[in-house]
């Protein structure tokens, strides 16, 4: 575990330090030493943000981990959970049964909440997060609830959580994860009641090393993936392991060339959007069906005898709810895929712009530097700035639920204007 976090000493120290303090506090409490009340389960001794002085007696049941998408934020949260549950000599040994179970996502006392909707509402918070936080741990000292994408909490959902975060059950630790470099993105009221750990993005060299070691990628491919993904570990990993991801990226970047050719650009964009929609649907097709079957079975669908009819009505309602949740998940996935493509394209225009103004900075897409050079000469500084604006507008449209085809047609039109064709 310490190894997993070795690249980010500040995170490692915070996480392992907290787990160590938690263990000591529990040991003190068990041996009857002067640890008052709830503080017996204190998680302390942690260096958070500047200004949050470490305090060994303060209770820290509520945490927020922030970091850019792909920085390994969720892994850090999971490592923290493992360190809390660890039964090894040093917290977070990574070898004991508890550590392994947590890291494999199979520990009964560690719950990972991964919201599928674009916005986390009050009902979801009450049913999933608050209910989960108030259950006692069964086999371990701590019940750990990790909430992914906590930046999606609606204001009212954050309010509903306030009490739980302020006075958490004495054996519960809540960890919010927000994919952001700016903690401001995460509810202010909640943030002020949590300890903050910032998880920095790993460097290109670190990601390269990881992909060579763990995925058997060549040094060249690993480095390219690290750069092209803008230091997003998960994406970089998929780029070296999934050929369809590489093809998608190439198709997206080649759009910048096609923009000159009118109809071809619109058609290529249309094909890309279609492919992403198909992928988003297929990605969950199996999972959707399995979930539905599980639900129906657990509710005893198809049963006979008294009450079966009444049960059937209840089942229909719950199936409907499930289908709604599944549709939201597909929508989110579709949107994420398109957004990722737009970020790729923006990276190429940025490379071109930097060439146009003569700046020497590492390119995002070194394998497309030829095309970036052509764009720098052909579209020019002003045009390239307009291209980046056009992408920003399209991303905003997508986030505002504008129909994909309309948003992307608009993008192609604006890019053509910027090219002066």
Which window, 8-16, 82-90, 177-185, 267-275, contacts Zn ion (CB under 5 A)? 82-90
Q: What is the DSSP string of 206-265?
A: HHHHHHHHHH---HHHHHHHHHHTTS-HHHHHHHHH-HHHHHHHHHHHHHHHHGGGTHHH
Identify the residue among 93, 275, 371, 388 touching Zn ion (CB under 5 A). 93
The neighbour count for residue 268, using CB atoms within 10 Å, is 19
Burial classification of residue 81, based on how many CB atoms lie within 10 Å of its CB (0-12 exposed, 13-18 middle, 19 or more buried):
buried
What angle do helix axes 308-356 and 263-298 make, rounded to 10 degrees? 150
Which window, 95-103, 127-135, 347-355, 412-420, contacts Zn ion (CB under 5 A)? 95-103
Instruction: For residues 204 and 228, give the distance between their C-alpha atoms in angstroms, rounded to a whole number.
Output: 10
Counting Cα atoms < 13 Å in the Cβ hemisphere of 269 gives 25
Identify the residue among 96, 212, 295, 328 touching Zn ion (CB under 5 A). 96
Q: Which is nearer to Zn ion, 96 or 388 (CB)?
A: 96
Tell me if 385 contacts Zn ion by CB under 5 A. no
Tell me if 2 contacts Zn ion by CB under 5 A. no
Q: Which is nearer to Zn ion, 89 or 286 (CB)?
A: 89
Q: Which of 7, 136, 161 is nearest to 79 (CA)?
A: 7
The neighbour count for residue 246, using CB atoms within 10 Å, is 17
Which window, 53-61, 89-97, 190-198, 275-283, contacts Zn ion (CB under 5 A)? 89-97
CB 243 within 8 A of CB 332: no
CB 127 within 8 A of CB 155: no
Tell me if 88 contacts Zn ion by CB under 5 A. yes
Identify the residue among 5, 22, 46, 99 touching Zn ion (CB under 5 A). 99
Q: Which is nearer to Zn ion, 85 or 149 (CB)?
A: 85
Tell me if 86 contacts Zn ion by CB under 5 A. yes
Tell me if 121 contacts Zn ion by CB under 5 A. no
Tell me if 83 contacts Zn ion by CB under 5 A. no
Q: How far is the CB of 175 from Zn ion (least distance, A)?
A: 18
Q: Which is nearer to Zn ion, 93 or 312 (CB)?
A: 93
Which window, 2-10, 80-88, 116-124, 210-218, contacts Zn ion (CB under 5 A)? 80-88
Instruction: Summarize as ranges the residues that interact with Zn ion (CB under 5 A).
Output: 86, 88, 93, 96, 99
């Amino acid at each position: 575990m310490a190894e997993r976090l070795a690249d980010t000493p500040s995170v490692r120290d915070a996480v392992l330090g907290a787990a160590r303090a938690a263990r000591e506090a529990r040991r003190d409490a068990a041996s009857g030493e002067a640890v008052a009340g709830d503080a017996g389960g204190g998680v302390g001794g942690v260096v958070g943000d500047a200004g949050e002085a470490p305090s060994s007696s303060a209770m820290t049941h509520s945490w927020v981990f922030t970091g850019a998408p792909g920085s390994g934020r969720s892994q850090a949260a999971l490592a923290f959970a493992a360190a809390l549950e660890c039964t090894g000599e040093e917290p977070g040994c990574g070898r004991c049964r508890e550590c392994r179970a947590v890291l494999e996502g199979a520990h009964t006392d560690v719950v990972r909440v991964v919201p599928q909707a674009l916005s986390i509402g009050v009902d979801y918070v009450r049913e999933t997060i608050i209910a989960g936080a108030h259950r006692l741990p069964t086999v371990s000292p701590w019940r750990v609830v990790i909430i992914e994408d906590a930046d999606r909490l609606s204001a009212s959902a954050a309010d509903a959580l306030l009490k739980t975060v302020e006075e958490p059950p004495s054996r519960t630790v809540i960890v919010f994860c927000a994919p952001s470099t700016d903690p401001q993105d995460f509810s202010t009221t909640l943030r002020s009641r949590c300890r903050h750990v910032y998880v920095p993005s790993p460097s290109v060299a670190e990601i390269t090393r990881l992909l060579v070691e763990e995925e058997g990628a060549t040094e060249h491919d690993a480095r390219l993936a690290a750069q092209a993904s803008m230091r997003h570990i998960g994406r970089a990993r998929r780029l070296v392991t999934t050929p369809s991801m590489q093809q998608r990226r190439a198709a997206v970047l080649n759009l910048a060339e096609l923009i000159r050719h009118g109809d071809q650009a619109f058609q290529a964009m249309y094909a890309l959007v279609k492919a992403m929609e198909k992928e988003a649907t297929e990605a969950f097709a199996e999972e959707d069906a399995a979930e539905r079957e599980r639900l129906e079975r657990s509710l005893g669908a198809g049963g006979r005898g008294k009450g079966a009819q009444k049960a059937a009505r209840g089942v229909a309602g719950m199936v409907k709810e499930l289908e709604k949740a599944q549709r939201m998940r597909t929508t989110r996935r579709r949107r994420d895929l398109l957004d990722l493509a737009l970020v790729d394209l923006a990276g190429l225009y940025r490379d071109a712009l930097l060439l146009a103004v003569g700046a020497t900075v590492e390119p995002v897409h070194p394998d497309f530097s030829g095309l970036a050079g052509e764009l720098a000469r052909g579209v020019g500084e002003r045009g390239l700035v307009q291209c980046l604006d056009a992408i920003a507008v399209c991303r905003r449209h997508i986030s505002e639920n504008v129909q994909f085809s309309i948003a992307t047609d608009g993008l192609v039109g604006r890019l053509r204007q910027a090219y002066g064709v």
